[in-house]
């Protein structure tokens, strides 16, 4: 089988742990090529599978990216994960779908593009505590704000600037993320593979490595794994997925379901890249 692996122009994919995925694909006799999603020379229809991996700038060019996805669908390209799943996962309104299904997520409000609303009113509706404000289409904590309790007035101008550009998610801040951290669980073909714990550096709430966060491989606690499985079942059994959870007051809570271009921490779990390779080519 020959696959197209999708990246971004500013990313060197072989510098990520996707190099382990490439090794696993090659060991199984599969061929692959890397292309930036907006590379006009790419002939996506020539490949049996197209896999989104490190296209880490799509949130900066949302309309162009969605147009590109539409073109893949019109051309009958076999996209992994499936196109309807990717379209839904692009926008964090999927968290409302999880909440409707009884899956615990942080209390949140979806603020549509162009809305004129006071952040202080939303803070009051969400209990008056700290908030996290982020674009509804985002990645790597881009333009994410942490708003202190009674700090909404000071953050109003930045919040209003966001809503003039795009839909915005406003959600309660979960304090445990700054202590215990955030679990990430990887699934391939709907089956659990491995987990890591991402811990922010002192004074930071963002867990990503680019903000000084650290990553530790460890087994997922049973309650965390069960909540992740319940959440993933809402979306079926996609070939690859990462679910991020925080345990708050003893209850696991879904923070994100990553079905587009997640880092999958292959280096933290020997053999996991082989599981991904098998799921992509099954």
Rounding to the nearest 10 degrees, give the CA dihedral for residues 247, 250, 254, 255: -40
CATH topology of domain 94-102+176-259: D-amino Acid Aminotransferase; Chain A, domain 1 (3.30.470)
CA–CA distance, 102 with 118 (Å, rounded to integer) = 29
pLDDT digits (tens, 9 = 90+) for 84-96: 999 999 999 999 9
Domain spans in the chain, listed from the N-terminal domain onward = 2-89, 94-102+176-259, 108-172
According to the model, what pLDDT value does residue 212 have? 62
Share of residues in the chain with pLDDT > 90 (%): 89
Q: What is the pLDDT of residues 252-280, one digit of tens each?
A: 999 999 999 999 999 999 999 999 999 99
- Candidates 246, 245, 240, 257; CA nearest to 24 is 240
Rounded CA gap, 172 and 209, in Å?
A: 23
Query: Mean pLDDT over all residues of the chain?
Result: 94
Give the CATH architecture of domain 108-172.
Answer: 2-Layer Sandwich (3.30)
Residues with Cβ within 8 Å of residue 63, at least 6 apart in sequence: none
**Hey, what CATH class is 2-89 in?**
alpha beta
Instruction: Report pLDDT digits (tens) over 34-72.
Output: 999 999 999 999 999 999 999 999 999 999 999 999 999
The verdict on pTM exceeding 0.85 is yes
CB of 32 closer than 8 Å to CB of 25: yes
What distance lies between CA 6 and its chain's CA centroid?
16
């Amino acid at each position: 089988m020959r696959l197209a692996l999708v990246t971004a122009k500013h990313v060197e994919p072989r510098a990520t742990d996707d190099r382990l995925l490439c090794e696993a694909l090659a060991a199984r006799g599969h061929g692959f090529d890397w292309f930036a999603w907006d590379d006009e020379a790419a002939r996506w229809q020539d490949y049996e599978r197209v896999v989104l991996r490190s296209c880490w700038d799509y949130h900066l060019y949302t309309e162009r990216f969605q147009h590109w996805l539409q073109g893949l669908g019109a051309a009958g390209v076999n996209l992994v994960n499936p196109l309807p799943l990717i379209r839904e996962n692009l926008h964090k309104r999927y968290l409302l779908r999880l909440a409707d299904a009884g899956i615990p997520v942080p209390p949140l409000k979806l603020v549509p593009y162009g809305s004129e609303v006071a952040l202080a009113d939303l803070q009051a509706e969400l209990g008056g505590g700290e908030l996290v404000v982020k674009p509804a289409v985002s990645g790597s904590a881009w333009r994410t704000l942490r708003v202190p309790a009674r700090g909404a007035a000071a953050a109003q101008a930045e919040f209003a600037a966001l809503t003039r550009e795009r839909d915005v998610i406003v959600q309660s801040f979960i304090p445990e993320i700054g202590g215990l951290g955030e679990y990430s669980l990887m699934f391939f073909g709907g089956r659990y593979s491995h987990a890591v714990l991402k811990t922010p550096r002192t004074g930071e709430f963002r867990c990503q490595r680019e903000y000084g966060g650290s990553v530790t491989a460890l087994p997922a606690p049973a309650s965390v794994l069960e909540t992740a499985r319940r959440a993933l079942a809402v979306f079926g059994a996609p070939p690859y997925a990462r679910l991020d959870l925080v345990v708050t007051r003893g209850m696991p809570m879904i923070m994100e379901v990553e079905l587009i271009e997640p880092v999958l921490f292959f280096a933290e779990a020997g053999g996991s890249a082989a599981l991904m390779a098998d799921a992509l080519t099954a």
